[in-house]
Amino acid sequence: MATLSTHILDTAEGRPARGVTVTLLDADGATLAE
């Protein structure tokens, strides 16, 4: 299986954001991963 990484920046702080939930959806809107 392939992997996916995300990097979300808190622009006000200038560092990685904390406590952000990322949900991966398929084309029909079904949740694949959270």
Distance CA 31, CA 9 (A): 23
Residue 2 is predicted with a pLDDT of 84
Tens of pLDDT along the chain (34 residues) come to 788 888 999 999 999 999 999 999 999 999 998 8
Residue 3 is predicted with a pLDDT of 87
Residue 21 is predicted with a pLDDT of 92
Residue 4 is predicted with a pLDDT of 86
**4-11 long-range CB contacts below 8 Å, 24 or more apart?**
none
Residue 18 is predicted with a pLDDT of 94
Rg of the chain (C-alpha set): 13
- CA-to-CA dists, residue 19 to 24, 26, 27, 30, 33, angstroms: 16, 23, 26, 22, 16
